[in-house]
Amino acid sequence: MRGMEVASPPMRARCLFVAVLTAVLSGCGVGVPDAPSDTLRSYARALEEKRVEDAYSLLSDEAKRSLSLDSFRRMVLENPTEVMEVANALARPSGKPVIRSTVALPNGDELVLVLEGDTWRVDAAAVDLYSQATPRQALVGFLRAIERRRYDVVLRFVPEREREGVPAVSKPAVVGEPLTAMDPDGGALTAERLKEEFEGPQKDDALRQLEAIRTALPSATIEETGDEAAMSYGVGGSVSFIRERGLWKIREF
């Protein structure tokens, strides 16, 4: 991951927007009296009236852990124009909120449930074995595709530029190198070349590395920064992700 950068005013406004969405989702479980729209309106009014503490109280516990009250107050007071834009937008939601719940499974998979009426339903993403909707789902799908020897599917998780080929290299992929390093001859990466890497002479090294990732995945934290994300594992290991055309892909591991 790159070093943290100071957020510009528009970025801070987007942070506020993300924070309120997190707060809304955290307060929408069955049995909670306030509807999502009520929470949105309350948050918007608190921002408009500069009632920082009241707005902060509507954030989820997770949001509060990542953003202190003092930081939140500074964000609100230093960006009055952006805050008003966010407040106005929240006061007029464009559609009915969709309430979701994410359940982490022991193998690292995530199961998404959607509240319809008063009944929780399994989201369509549960049937997508190779989802790229989130970095975690992309990594689970990537590992699953390798385990099932679906190298045609593994290619979906390689960034476009790297699939098209890079200058030749003389060694297989190792920690911190792009997936295209798997192609010792340069040129476009293919399913056949991926198979050679994962089932050829370097198979044991590759599988050990993937097993370390698989073991760490259930409890690992994946940090997202815009269209990039990263997950640390083992001793000094990391997986980096990039989002292209709305799909998360594995850039390095």
- 33-72: per-residue pLDDT in tens? 456 677 878 888 888 888 999 989 888 787 788 788 998 8
Interatomic CA distance for residues 35 and 40, integer angstroms:
9
Local confidence band at 3 (pLDDT 50, 70, 90 cut-offs):
very low
pLDDT at position 124 is 60
Give the model's pLDDT for residue 242: 95
Check: CB of residue 79 under 8 Å from CB of residue 13: yes
Q: Between the CA of residue 159 and those of 134, 180, 243, 252, what are the distances in Å?
A: 15, 9, 8, 10
Q: Which residues of 35-48 are buried (b: 16+ CB within 10 A; e: fewer)?
A: ebeebbbbbbebbb
Six-digit token pair at 196? Answer: 């050679």
Note the pLDDT tens digit of each residue in 150-209: 999 999 999 988 887 654 333 344 444 555 444 445 567 888 888 888 888 888 888 888
